[in-house]
A and B are shown apart, each in its own frame.
Chain A
């Protein structure tokens, strides 16, 4: 079935169009983004249960963007009454003018920017969905997840694990967004879901959390297979409780797809967000057309690159979804860009202008960030390593686009000696390095690929949005601590 577009947004659309027309008398450019997204979250463990009709991206509200005298301004609000567009117009102009008076009194000069184009365009995208979050059978889902939690506990104990709990968390969101200008009317509706299953175990005076995740541009039907995640979570838990500390140093490693995704995200995800180019905060601006990785490295970014949690039809500025080849056989080809940064840089926007919610500013943000697959097999890659690790499980990462430093905190390293896994596990791991060195060392790439969208991404330490990343197994050389 198609995910139906919000009747609430359809209902306020005429009033918002009237508001756009009124604002156009005062401003040279006006756009409106309205969101009405619903969903649910369920968390089940042996110790507590919860259900909420909220997720990270459920919201209802509107933001207006206006332009005058080289300067953009925005007003975000809830509770729009389509019968009172004129009142809202007065409120917006009055408050933004008050801000301008304060800024003028403080002697602030604008960062002058050109006007956004407004070509006639209409989009009405209701994407395919299975079950809608609002139609989900919560009773059946709670029962299913409770059974999974119980089985996880039972099977963990059978494996000799000192189980504290087995947790299952899922969420599903029906996103509806409407972008309006004087000449554009864009509307989209899609559903995405994500979840995790995790074992909490005690060991040697430590508490370890072992988890595995799932995600997709699907409805709650995604959770039908969540029971299959139990063995993986328990396998990880068993590995963590037996893990030793790594001897710090430089190693040949194989990165599992989720670690590959983290590298993609931190290295040439944040590294080529072009709002950073505008501010002179990214080294990538000077490296377009130059080598940043080995011949085996090709990377794509865009909402069209995969069907996962952030695979939309248009971004929060109305730009169509894209698929950017960022790195082509080791050569940095392009970055990703929101609409205002594109104006300032004289390039085309790539469909990567995203907001944390309707009430937040747009920044250049990632969608699906993925390394392309190669032709090697995991077995060949392991056999090629004299001494090193197979790296699995990601905890967090941090970029440094100014210097291309990278920090990834990883879960586990599986020792490889003379081309064979020894069974020894090390944890936790801090992987650090210089991005071109890391990508330049990529010597083998597997033929398969994984995409992971259960996490979220911040800009600096705020502005959290959904992203997905991934890729194949990569063989590279990194520093581990």
Chain B
């Protein structure tokens, strides 16, 4: 079987080399996956996945311009079909001419040693046992969950001579938690991504969610607080930090979505944001990015000031950023206060939203409150309903964050973030 598969890639490479394209890139992606779907703890169905395809991009030079076109080619495409597709891409590439840029050249990544192929059966077994050990009670339990375990192999090649392969695990658990009291039942939702199964971390996440479920049953309607301090300490906090990450992407800057420049103060004074090559059990650990550039640690924001842009080859070259790459893990640090110090005085800690979002273009934040803890006058009241909203640039002056950190798959961020003057619309 392996021989047949390699023949397909070899055929495609021959087609590309003889196509007359000025340059090309190919990503050969193969995913083997095991999936298990549960209703309560009973098996709804199980699934296996073995899929492979080739992503191809063809380039043509036109003086100061570079044309390009992309396609996905099936792994069982015939040589004729491959030829027709690549010829079509050559033609398409002549119509879309962007300013010229060059493809990545071979460059060895630090520590890019071959990885051990993940064992689907072993990782799946770990997840099955972890989910069965969730700390359920008579009143808080798992409604349903889905386990996805994948072994992904990617091989990237380009006409400049890059030929790099990565094999890595990627896992995901979707879980719905129920809590009930006096005939009333609520649910909370989690989508947890990771490399493999970290049983202790997973059970900790489940325990936290089950506890929030219990508290959700004891909520009062959120009062209209107008402008109030809001604390973010769970998954939605990621949205706040993606705002900084996205605004420094070369694509955002070149397209005019972001006007941030190196040296600008773009974040609170002590905040430091880094692209990091490795985070423990991240599903995004890789030696090379999708265009074959080596990934390394890189400081993007230092003490609140933008340091450097990051991003893919095309837009990075347009902005004259050399040696850039498509980062996949990020870490935010620099907090000077502890979680406890941030949790003082009057504030609303929202731990569950219907859907918390930060608008990429405007920096507007908004979300409906499903569970919050209102700390006011020394009293703590669980609340539900109403919404929080504001605008990141306008709120930046009142943005504080903890020394302690919490990891969400490929993002390591302060465990507690407190923002002043957030608009809180109540339901009373």
Interfacial chain B residues near A74, Cβ < 8 Å: 45-48
Pick the residue among A165, A278, A481 that contacts B256 (CB under 8 A): A165
10 further interface pairs, Cβ-Cβ under 8 Å (given A73-B48, A74-B45):
A48-B98, A48-B315, A58-B72, A71-B46, A77-B51, A99-B34, A111-B39, A396-B355, A430-B425, A432-B425
Q: What are 27 A-to-B residue pairs whose CB atoms are below 8 Å?
A: A48-B254, A51-B69, A53-B69, A58-B72, A75-B49, A76-B47, A76-B51, A78-B76, A103-B36, A106-B129, A138-B95, A165-B256, A200-B255, A200-B256, A202-B259, A206-B393, A207-B257, A278-B39, A407-B355, A430-B425, A432-B354, A432-B386, A432-B387, A460-B191, A461-B189, A461-B191, A479-B425
Is the CB–CB distance between B70 and A53 below 8 Å?
yes
Write the chain A residue with the least CB distance to B258: A207
Is the CB–CB distance between B39 and A432 below 8 Å?
no
Interfacial chain B residues near A248, Cβ < 8 Å: 224, 423, 425
Docked CA distance A100–B121 (Å)? 11
- Tell me, rounded to whole Å, the shortest Cβ–Cβ distance linking A457 to chain B: 13
Is the CB–CB distance between B50 and A53 below 8 Å?
no
Is the CB–CB distance between A281 and B368 below 8 Å?
no
- Tell me, rounded to whole Å, the shortest Cβ–Cβ distance linking A9 to chain B: 12
Binds A, one of B160-168, B278-286, B358-366: B358-366
**B389 on interface, CB distance cutoff 8 Å:** yes
Is the CB–CB distance between B357 and A71 below 8 Å?
no
**B110 on interface, CB distance cutoff 8 Å:** no
Docked CA distance A79–B8 (Å)? 10
**B88 on interface, CB distance cutoff 8 Å:** yes
Interfacial chain B residues near A345, Cβ < 8 Å: none
Interfacial chain A residues near B423, Cβ < 8 Å: 248, 481
Pick the residue among A109, A207, A460 that contacts B361 (CB under 8 A): A207
Interfacial chain A residues near B259, Cβ < 8 Å: 202, 207
- Tell me, rounded to whole Å, the shortest Cβ–Cβ distance linking B22 to chain A: 16
Docked CA distance A42–B68 (Å)? 12
Interface residues of A in 158-210 (CB under 8 A from B): 164-165, 200, 202, 205-209
Pick the residue among B41, B51, B256 that contacts A78 (CB under 8 A): B51
Interfacial chain A residues near B76, Cβ < 8 Å: 60, 78-81
**B117 on interface, CB distance cutoff 8 Å:** no
Write the chain A residue with the least CB distance to B5: A79
Binds B, one of A217-225, A310-318, A397-405: A397-405
Interfacial chain A residues near B125, Cβ < 8 Å: 102, 105-106
Q: Which of B49, B69, B98, B121 gathers most chain A CB within 10 Å? A: B49
Interfacial chain B residues near A142, Cβ < 8 Å: 95-96
Q: Mark A49-83, 1 if CB is under 8 A from B, else 0.
A: 11111100010110000000001111111111100
Is the CB–CB distance between B174 and A462 below 8 Å?
yes
Interface residues of A in 339-396 (CB under 8 A from B): 340, 359, 361, 395-396
Write the chain A residue with the least CB distance to B47: A74
Interface residues of A in 443-481 (CB under 8 A from B): 460-462, 479, 481
Q: Which of A79, A80, A165 gathers most chain B CB within 10 Å? A: A79
- Tell me, rounded to whole Å, the shortest Cβ–Cβ distance linking A153 to chain B: 12
Write the chain A residue with the least CB distance to B174: A460
Interfacial chain B residues near A54, Cβ < 8 Å: 70-72
Q: Mark B259-297, 1 if CB is under 8 A from A, else 0.
A: 100000000000000000000000000000000000000
**B144 on interface, CB distance cutoff 8 Å:** yes
**A96 on interface, CB distance cutoff 8 Å:** yes
- Tell me, rounded to whole Å, the shortest Cβ–Cβ distance linking A427 to chain B: 9
Pick the residue among B39, B93, B185 that contacts A51 (CB under 8 A): B93
Is the CB–CB distance between B47 and A75 below 8 Å?
yes
Interface residues of A in 38-53 (CB under 8 A from B): 42, 44-45, 47-53
Pick the residue among A45, A51, A80, A479 that contacts B95 (CB under 8 A): A51
Write the chain A residue with the least CB distance to B125: A102
Write the chain B residue with the least CB distance to A36: B74
Given A103-B128, A279-B143, A361-B47 in contact, is the A460-B189 Cβ separation under 8 Å? yes
Interface residues of B in 11-55 (CB under 8 A from A): 34-53
Docked CA distance A430–B50 (Å)? 42
Docked CA distance A221–B426 (Å)? 48
Interfacial chain A residues near B52, Cβ < 8 Å: 78-79
Interfacial chain A residues near B314, Cβ < 8 Å: 48
**B132 on interface, CB distance cutoff 8 Å:** yes
Is the CB–CB distance between B42 and A405 below 8 Å?
no
Docked CA distance A55–B38 (Å)? 31
Docked CA distance A402–B184 (Å)? 10
Docked CA distance A400–B68 (Å)? 43
Pick the residue among A79, A206, A397, A403 that contacts B186 (CB under 8 A): A403
**A116 on interface, CB distance cutoff 8 Å:** no
Interfacial chain B residues near A96, Cβ < 8 Å: 46, 48
Is the CB–CB distance between A200 and B45 below 8 Å?
no
Interfacial chain A residues near B88, Cβ < 8 Å: 53
Given A79-B52, A165-B256 in contact, is the A103-B43 Cβ separation under 8 Å? yes
Is the CB–CB distance between A428 and B71 below 8 Å?
no
**A306 on interface, CB distance cutoff 8 Å:** no
**A14 on interface, CB distance cutoff 8 Å:** no
Interfacial chain B residues near A481, Cβ < 8 Å: 366, 386-387, 389, 423, 425
**B89 on interface, CB distance cutoff 8 Å:** yes
Q: Which of B43, B256, B258, B364 gathers most chain A CB within 10 Å? A: B43
Given A51-B69, A78-B52, A78-B76 in contact, is the A281-B187 Cβ separation under 8 Å? yes
Is the CB–CB distance between A100 and B46 below 8 Å?
yes
**A28 on interface, CB distance cutoff 8 Å:** no
Is the CB–CB distance between A280 and B189 below 8 Å?
no
Give the 4 A-B CB pairs with smallest separation, nearest first: A481-B425, A398-B355, A53-B71, A164-B256
Given A51-B95, A111-B44 in contact, is the A78-B74 Cβ separation under 8 Å? yes
Is the CB–CB distance between B37 and A361 below 8 Å?
yes
Given A76-B51, A281-B176 in contact, is the A479-B427 Cβ separation under 8 Å? yes
**B154 on interface, CB distance cutoff 8 Å:** no
Write the chain B residue with the least CB distance to A461: B191
**B419 on interface, CB distance cutoff 8 Å:** no
**A110 on interface, CB distance cutoff 8 Å:** yes
